[in-house]
Amino acid sequence: MADNGAADPGNNNNNKPDASEGTIIKVTVKTPKDKEEIAISEDASVTQFKEEISRRFKAKQDQLVLIFAGKILKDGDSLNQHGIKDGLTVHLVIKTAHKAGDGASSSPSSSSSTQAGSSSSPSPGTNPSTAGTTGPAAPPTQTPNILTGFGDLSSLAGLGMGSANFMELQQQMQRQLMSNPEMLSQIMENPLVQNMMSNPDLMRQMIVANPQMQQLMERNPEISHMLNNPELMRQTMELARNPAMMQEMMRNQDRALSNLESIPGGYNALRRMYTDIQEPMFSAAREQFGSNPFSALGGNSESGAQPSRTENREPLPNPWGPPSSTSSSENGGGTTAGTGTTTGTNPSVSNPLGINAASLGNGMFNSPGMQSLMQQISENPQLMQNMLSAPYMRSMMQSLAQNPELASQNPASSPSAGTNTAQQQQLMQQMLQMFAGGGGGGTQTPEVRFQSQLDQLNAMGFINREANLQALIATGGDINAAIERLLGSQPS
């Protein structure tokens, strides 16, 4: 008559295999954020248990507070004493001076003084982008929210704030930063930080390593596209570094967008853009990044430089599609092309603005703005390349390639553009080539920019200038990466 489930408190009702026939038991250790299963002898003392835990959670033993069944486990006790058996759960709290593993700063006054004091000796440079740094000298405190990308640098325990859990540290810093904008600019100005930020790979690694970011990326693949474009990263970072530039960029973009509104159907497209893309991303990013300019990086890719315009804001960087008068507002911004997504395709993830590639050529081609775009493009191949670095260009290209009629339709329907079929095709090829060449570009041609790198590659024996250039473009000027690319592509 007894109810087994209720009447057996110590019963192992969960599915653990009976591992306690020896003396090893498996105990689940749970923190508010995390959960690990730890195997330990059932006769062990709390101290031994903590040793094991400190290894697994990468925290110091004296920072660990174990709670079981509402009681704090003292070091001198044994697990047996508290009745800790196989399959049960112990709660763990990782204290960090005044922290208890539950989040960020509790005593802002003391933490802010430490931060302010050490803001001149930033440690971002000492923290390699991957997690698991071994204890840099300088306190990591004032590094800005970009450090969310650092992942769990809990080995930083004992440093600076003594934060065992880097997440807490970050949150703490975020709070600091949010309440003190000057601090942010201070940080930004610091050469070390700037140095770090100018390394796109580093930044990308950091950002990607952050689990929150990863979630964000899952939700919005554009972000991962954006992150993978080295050029874009660099420009974004420069932007972040230079708030004035960022503002300028935003302004340009806003202007472009407002132009969009004036096309028929443009407003709807805009709205769709916003609700489908920007809102979730922005709010997702805002949780983590607060008011940090890097929120742009994570949540709002439009703050990326010109090429990034194509990432999320434009319905379609259609080479033949009309920029619909946005090209008039900026040269580089010609990428905000073809917004009149009057086609009926609903926005999907890879085609965020609902561009129905098939019907592209039709409505858009005839507007005057389009023609000026064409001209600009022909004059500035770089622009074309920028436009093309958007990921979904690829899909559009494919569909266009498959649909030669469409392609021919395009040239045909813009008589006054002065572009004839041959030119169009040439343009197409050029675009394809550039696109294949990967994202790159800026205001100078790659050759000019990578001149020194090209020379170096030459000196090293890579004599294929074309290939070198391609590799450099693809890696954004990073010689080592370019070499690897080159070596990788050569038959061995």
Partner 1 sequence: MAASSGVKVPRNFRLLEELEEGQKGVGDGTVSWGLEDDEDMTLTRWTGMIIGPARTNYENRIYSLKVECGPKYPEAPPTVRFVTKISMNGINNSNGTVDSRSIPILSKWQNSYSIKIVLQELRRLMTSKENMKLPQPPEGQTYSN
Q: Are residues 353 and 315 in contact, defined by beta-carbon separation less than 8 angstroms?
A: yes
Q: Which stretch binds partner 1 (CB under 8 A): 2-10, 288-296, 321-329, 449-457?
A: 2-10
CB atoms under 10 Å from CB of 455, counted, come to: 11
From residue 30, alpha-carbon distances to 56, 80, 88, 151, 365 in Å are: 12, 19, 10, 19, 60
**Alpha-carbon span 96 to 29, nearest angstrom:** 18
Minimum Å gap between C-beta 27 and partner 1 is 10
Residues 151-180 that bind partner 1 (CB under 8 A): 171
Residue 289 within binding range of partner 1, rule CB under 8 A = no
Q: Considering the complex, state which of residue 14 and residue 458 has its C-beta at the smaller distance from partner 1.
A: 14
Residue 132 CA to residue 232 CA, distance in Å, equals: 27
# residues contacting partner 1 (CB under 8 A): 42
Q: Is 481 in the site for partner 1 (CB under 8 A)?
A: no
Position 106 contacts partner 1 (CB under 8 A): yes
Is residue 30 near partner 1 by the rule CB under 8 A? yes
CA distance 197 to 241: 8
Which residue in 336, 177, 195 sits closest to 253, CA to CA?
336
Closer to partner 1 by Cβ: residue 20 or 331:
20
Comparing CB distances to partner 1, the nearer of 5 and 491 is 5
Closer to partner 1 by Cβ: residue 30 or 286? 30
Tokens representing 45?
Answer: 């003392």
65 binds partner 1 (CB under 8 A): yes
Q: What is the three-class DSSP state of 365? A: coil
Burial class of residue 60, CB neighbours in 10 A (0-12, 13-18, 19+) = middle
**Which of these, 214, 399, 236, 201, lies nearest to 319 by C-alpha position?**
399
Contact segment (CB under 8 A) with partner 1 among 1-9, 380-388, 418-426, 453-461 equals 1-9
Q: Work out which of 31, 278, 385, 453 binds partner 1, going by CB under 8 A.
A: 31
Q: Which stretch binds partner 1 (CB under 8 A): 27-35, 136-144, 301-309, 345-353?
A: 27-35
User: Please, which residue, 170 or 414, has the CB nearer to partner 1?
Assistant: 170
Q: Is 32 in the site for partner 1 (CB under 8 A)?
A: yes
CB of 107 to partner 1, least distance (A): 9
Taking the C-alpha atoms of residue 434 and residue 317, their distance in angstroms, rounded to an integer, is: 14
Q: Which residues bind partner 1 (CB under 8 A)?
A: 1-3, 5-11, 13-14, 28, 30-32, 35, 65, 67-72, 83, 87-91, 93, 95-96, 98-104, 106, 171
